[in-house]
Amino acid sequence: MREWWRDAVIYQIYPRSFQDDNGDGIGDLKGITRRLDYVASLGVDAIWLSPFFTSPDKDMGYDVSDYTSVNAIFGTIDDFDALMAKAHDLGLKVIIDQVLSHTSDQHPWFIESRKDKTNPKADWYVWADPQKDGTPPTNWPSVFGGSAWMFDARRRQYYLHNFLVSQPDLNFHNPEVIDALVDAMRFWLERGVDGFRLDTVNYYVHDKKLRDNPASNWDEFPGNPYEAQTHLFSKTQPENIAILKRIRALMNDFEDRMLIGEVGEDGLRQVEVMGQYTSGGDKLHMAYSFAMLSHDHSPDHFRNCISEFLNKAPDGWPCWSFSNHDVQRHVTRWATTPALQNTVARQAINMLVSFPGALGIYQGEELGQIETDIEFHELRDLGYIDFWPDNKGRDGCRTPMVWDANQTHAGFSTGEPWLPVKAPQIARSVSEQEGKSDTVLQAYRAALTFRKDRNELRYGETSFPKLPDPLLAVARRFEGKTLTGVFNLSDTEQAVDLSGGAILAGEKHAALDKSRLTLPAFGFAFVETQDEGSAFA
């Protein structure tokens, strides 16, 4: 039998915003446990929990100050065990986030490391002397803007932080660091977690020689900006492979566990690194793609993301998703008018289930949730504060789940929620959709059931019959049958002629008259054909 993760649908839970149980306005583990029946009812296979570890929450848990304890605002380790037991009872696998690339500056390791140059943890982080003129050791940029180096007055050295200043990077050239991280991971494996999502897995190792990244005018790589990306010295170094193998060996000591690495790279470099990290069966099981988190909603884009991966990494494995806690919600990104938001949401899940590999769903997208407008006084995510208001940070996709439109704060909390619960979001509550046909929630359940029922979508070989823009066709062929998803990625009606013998299957937002398939704005349909037959005339 095929491993469980290969075609798993993974539901991402952002603990702060899922369900508050004790009324302090912040979601918690008990709250999640309470809502797991709902999660299972969607037909997903696994949950991925964003970090719930002890943390000062400068980056909302992605700045860990103790890898093996539960942040008191989320509950206790007993609450976690109870959550996992309930999830397993419901047949849900539990994947937890591991933020290994950096710690919080409040982690005891860093507090010790920064004391002087000789303490036992002195080399656990990436310390380097200033250049002669006092400037940072390299030109490496932080993802959140500015230099990736911060000067520390006490050591009179710079330390590396690829993200916030309060997220110092661990030194993966030091074997003691890797041992300590492996121990922390073993702790959770022994507790029974089914897998890890490895945060920023391509940032673990930096260039030991501290060479500058090439200039951003790409002069060295004429005509090919993607080529230039391979020469960044701040991330994705060759030594990373050995570390992934070490972590994989740990996983192999346990049964049926899985590693999914978050690979954030630009352009074609994305599929290349995803392939490198998942091929060979001795590194990551799969890689979480950033490619479809973008504004690009063109047929070419989706076709390229997938076919590039299949071509470049035939034995690698992808996980696709459209939304997560770092990006604007896809309905907001892709709907051309508010009236089409639900239509886009319905099309999106049907498109997602047509893709080969594992799939990720971000809490609330099954409601067709849209980005929340955030005012400055409501801002909590400080990552992009230097860019306000051009970049309003990531709070707009992190506002609480809306359960019941008739309860205070839509049933998320009896207290004041840490991020606002606003009317446009409340209108999409579970209570407004549950039990009704013609809702986004119903479309999600139907699409996930369809994927479970149809081996073509789970195991089928993938090809992309060429249709004129703005139509996308994704064909999945298995044991003599082909299911072809057809998607109109525009807000104007499109039509296509089906071949003789083609029939429609599953949900649709389209009309068939004789052989003519008409797809309204953001419409879709699945076409079933036998043998080698093409779906289109």
Q: Which positions are annotated as active-site residues?
A: 199, 262
Does residue 365 belong to the site contacting Ca ion (CB under 5 A)?
Answer: no
C-alpha span between 361 and 33 (Å, rounded):
18
DSSP-H helix ranges across 354-487: 423-426, 430-433, 440-453, 455-459
Residue closer to Ca ion (CB basis): 27 or 168: 27
- Collect all residues with Cβ–Cβ distance below 8 Å to 121 and sequence separation of at least 6: 109, 110, 112, 113
Residue closer to ligand TEU (CB basis): 31 or 383: 383
Residue closer to ligand TEU (CB basis): 62 or 309: 62
- Report the partner that residue 200 touches, choosing among ligand TEU, Ca ion, none (CB closer than 5 to 8 A by kind): ligand TEU
- Report the partner that residue 99 touches, choosing among ligand TEU, Ca ion, none (CB closer than 5 to 8 A by kind): ligand TEU
Does residue 326 belong to the site contacting Ca ion (CB under 5 A)?
Answer: no
Check if the beta carbon of residue 6 is closer than 8 Å to that of residue 46.
no
**CB neighbours (10 Å) of residue 417?**
21
Residue closer to Ca ion (CB basis): 73 or 467: 73
Residue 481 per-residue DSSP state:
E
Minimum distance from residue 404 beta carbon to ligand TEU (Å): 28
The contact mask relative to Ca ion for 17-36 (x = CB under 5 A, - = no) is ---x-x-x-x-x--------
- Report the partner that residue 302 touches, choosing among Ca ion, ligand TEU, none (CB closer than 5 to 8 A by kind): none
Minimum distance from residue 138 beta carbon to ligand TEU (Å): 17
With contacts defined by CB under 5 A, how many residues of the chain interact with Ca ion?
5
Distances from the Cα of 459 to the Cα of 332, 436, 443, 507, angstroms: 31, 31, 22, 20
Residue closer to Ca ion (CB basis): 22 or 407: 22
Minimum distance from residue 390 beta carbon to ligand TEU (Å): 16
Check if the beta carbon of residue 2 is closer than 8 Å to that of residue 45.
no
For residue 48, which of 288, 370, 246, 248 has the smallest C-alpha distance? 288
Binding residues for ligand TEU, per CB under 6 A?
A: 59, 62, 99, 143, 163, 199-200, 264, 325-326, 383
Indicate the residue whose CB is closest to ligand TEU. 264
* H/E run at residue 278: helix 269-278
- Report the partner that residue 22 touches, choosing among ligand TEU, Ca ion, none (CB closer than 5 to 8 A by kind): Ca ion
Q: At what angle do helices 240-252 and 175-191 cross, to 10 degrees?
A: 30
Does residue 76 belong to the site contacting Ca ion (CB under 5 A)?
Answer: no
For residue 281, which of 311, 310, 317 has the smallest C-alpha distance? 317
- Report the partner that residue 163 touches, choosing among ligand TEU, Ca ion, none (CB closer than 5 to 8 A by kind): ligand TEU
Minimum distance from residue 82 beta carbon to Ca ion (Å): 15
Minimum distance from residue 437 beta carbon to ligand TEU (Å): 35
- Collect all residues with Cβ–Cβ distance below 8 Å to 193 and sequence separation of at least 6: 84, 94, 95, 96, 257
C-alpha span between 34 and 54 (Å, rounded):
22
Q: Which residues pair with 95 in a beta bridge?
A: 48, 195
Minimum distance from residue 15 beta carbon to ligand TEU (Å): 13
Binding site for Ca ion (CB under 5 A): 20, 22, 24, 26, 28
